[in-house]
Amino acid sequence: MRDSGGRGQGPGRGGGGAGSQGGPGAARRTPGGPGRAGRPGTGRAASPDDPFHLPFGDTPRSRGGSPADDDVPDDDPAPGGPRRPRPGQGRPRRGDDDLPAGGPHADERSRGRTSRRGGSRRGEDDLPAGGPHAEERSRGRAGQRDGEASPGGARGGSARGERFRRDESDHRRDAGPSRGRAGQRDTEARQGDAFRRRPSDTARRPPHDRSRGDGDARGRDDGSARRTQADNPVRRPRDEDAGRARPGEGPRAATRAGTDAGGRGGTRVRAGEGARRDPQDGARRRAGGGHGKSPPPPKPPLVLRLGSPKRRISIGLIAMTFILSIFAGRLIQMQGLDSKVYEAAATKQRLHVEKIPAKRGSITDVNGHNLALTVEARDISIDPSKIPAEVRQGVASLLARTLGRPVEEMAAKLARTDTRYQLLARGVAPPVADRLLKEPVPSLNATSTFRRVYPGGDLAGSLIGFVGDDKDGLTGIEQVKNTALAGTDGELQIETGRDLQRIPMTGSQRTPPVDGRDVRLTIDRDIQWAAQKAIGEQVESAGASSGTVIVMDVRTADVIAMANAPELDLANWREAPESHYLNRAAADVFEPGSTNKVITAAAALEAGVVDSDTVFHVKDNIQCYDRVLRDAHAHPPEDMTFAQAMAQSSNVATVMAARRVGSEGLYDMLKAFGFGTKPGGDMPGAGAGLLPHHDKWSGSQSCTIAYGQGVSVTALQMASVYQTIANGGVKVEPRIVAGTTAPDGTFTPAKPGKKTRVISTATAKEITAMLEDAVGAQGTGELAAIPGYRVAGKTGTANRYDAELGRYDGYTASFAGFTPADAPRLVVLSVLQNPKNGHYGGQIAAPVFKDVMTFALKSRKIPPTGSAASPARAGAEQ
């Protein structure tokens, strides 16, 4: 096969074989001959049918231009060597290395390798003419001729390799397209490596690796850099002179050079690639010297390395397991460990508790007449956000007119569009609420409730007191007895939804309310009205700042009337000044004046230092330490009995009697009568008064306290003093509450007042006789006398201490007495503070006593005793 050239002599083979000069192969190697020229290194024009065509641009050669159009000058072929093929003279042949690994051309590569190894090659008749297999036939012929290369051709190829290694400045020629077996094997091996290795592997191969055979050795000088560029997926400039034969070299050497350039360097030579080489390439090589190193390979591009799918799946599974374990743990905690807690929270969230208000108990007088009671009412509210702005003023006018409130107040509440609830009025009467709900006002609501009603208006207003918006008592009896009056509210537990609408078919729990108890006072409504009327008129007539009247039962110390002027109007308590809230009869303190002389008389009589017939030489003044004390009226010195001195209310005679008793004895008597001690009996606003200890009395104070200056008491305390004398010397703790009545009508009386004997019955009777004289014709309380009744009483006029001014200013006029004197039943005390039209007690306070006592006697149907006057009074009159 080598001698004859084998199948390489067949028609259509390239010029790279070693056939005879005159054979058909030689004729085909002749330019312009009828045969097909060997494949030049310049390559053929790109064909759209070529599946491995790389989209490089056209060059003059690929377009069929002349060699002069190339940027590199052609070398003359060596004598006897193959002539350089002309453009368009033959179709370039594609080698096995141009076929990709695998795919439809894998069999062709396999058949080529088999033919090279076994010496048998597939004939051209085995492949179809034209198309992609035409190149395969060409490669088969070139391989045959490569195997039968002449020694001259081998020498030419060797000389060309030597010259290339010595002088890299020479231009390389385009290698012939025909490839030998060794070049084909080397090309196939490198093509497989290019598919199996990453681009960076080729760059790391040593430049002088000779392990791939002769073909690799021939092209290692320049092929390493090209191989790096070819292995790199980025397009690199092809070396167009790789397949060009040099002068003196045979076609086989050119074929090997082309093979080395294509296989070793990794650059596939295609048609037109020689013309597309860099014009500066030859100049750079010539400037670099014959043995200069190739330029360093370019840095491979950054390649995004994806992690192992198995590792990603494992990490994902671990993350999902961790997340699911958290959910599972939370689920176990909520439904297992804390289930009771969340169940209770859910129940509490949907459980709505509505308060069922208890009906507040009534306050009645001693006869059961209502002074304060609870009635059904409505609380009117609205959602301001549902009222359009254009009708807001009209709605405000309508609400104000119906509810009796100012228009400005209603307009201000409707302007609160930032809230969905606005309370318009409390305690509206049901008929009024019903009439208002019929009006075309959107989002208007009425809630059932109770309201407090005071039928008497200002009758005993400050004594009864009032309740606040939360239905709790704030002052008076309403505050003191709030627990009994309020009762216990009930509850209705229902399950509601988001909008507080009851969930159907759900259970409910109802705790019924317990209504409050009715409180019965000791007050008699009629006598209260009379007392309040009398003191109010006198305060207005005298120009006093305030006044108080107390009517008390002698035997029980029950307060029958407790009137103040001015009085609190319970129907409009919000508009009243706070000073009217105070129950002055029990809270206001004042210096009693001459009404306190009965305590000095009781102390002297009990001590036995004086009696009613003891005579004193009385002047109209007396020196007491650093002060001179005087009687109310100037008179010449005169002798008078102690009874006469009490009837004429002489201050000098009283001081003379007190000196015989001493400060300590007087102090003890004051304490025994209740001075300095707060009275019990659920009395609202009760005060203790002011009683300094006798050790702290000043020199003049030991004298002035004897006639009621320098000590402060309340009207209730002073009324209790006269109740003690009228009751034969037995003091009974005053009370204002008679008892309570349960909702079922059961009455529970209050405990009676504590009884304490203060003075003896004899002393009490003797003082009573003196007090009768004070109301007689020669006494200071003549205006308090009641026809047909024996009246015992005492006037009082004292300097008034003004706390606001911090000094004494004005007077306190008072009168205290009881009747019938021989069988006392009622005690009446009247006090006027800071009167402007007169200031003596007998002048402005005694008439009030008379009017109130007369009405009380008639109301209680207390007849006169019809007995004669006491001997003491008869003696005094004589």
* Catalytic annotation, residues: 594
**Four-point Cα dihedral 7, 13, 17, 23, nearest 10:** 80
Whether residue 820 has a cis bond before it, omega within 30° of 0:
yes
Shortest CA distance to 744 belongs to which of 361, 376, 355, 357?
361
φ, ψ of residue 749 in degrees (nearest 5): -70, 150
Which residue's entry shows tokens 């088999």? 114
Which residue's entry shows tokens 């004897």? 706
Number of Cβ within 10 Å of residue 660's Cβ equals 14
Return d(Cα 44, Cα 204) in angstroms, integer.
32
Which residue's entry shows tokens 């208006």? 457
Tokens of 291: 């043995």
In degrees, rounded to 5, the angle at the alpha carbon of residue 100 between the alpha carbons of residues 98 and 101 is 130
In degrees, rounded to 5, the angle at the alpha carbon of residue 436 between the alpha carbons of residues 449 and 470 is 25
Which whole-number Å values give the CA distances from 293 to 99, 264, 277, 284, 285, in the listed order?
Answer: 31, 17, 20, 12, 10
In degrees, rounded to 5, the angle at the alpha carbon of residue 541 between the alpha carbons of residues 584 and 821 is 65
CB 753 within 8 A of CB 723: no
CB 841 within 8 A of CB 820: no
Return d(Cα 493, Cα 267) in angstroms, integer.
92
- Find the helix or strand (DSSP H, E) in which 796 lies: strand 792-802
**Four-point Cα dihedral 598, 604, 605, 611, nearest 10:** -100
Return d(Cα 753, Cα 738) in angstroms, integer.
10
Return d(Cα 540, Cα 817) in angstroms, integer.
23
Within a 13 Å sphere around the CA of 298, how many CA atoms are in the beta-carbon half? 14
CB 176 within 8 A of CB 15: yes
- The DSSP symbol for 337 reads I
Number of Cβ within 10 Å of residue 686's Cβ equals 21
- Find the helix or strand (DSSP H, E) in which 130 lies: none
Q: H helices of 103-208, where?
A: 106-118, 132-147, 151-166, 181-196, 199-203
Which residue's entry shows tokens 């039209």? 837
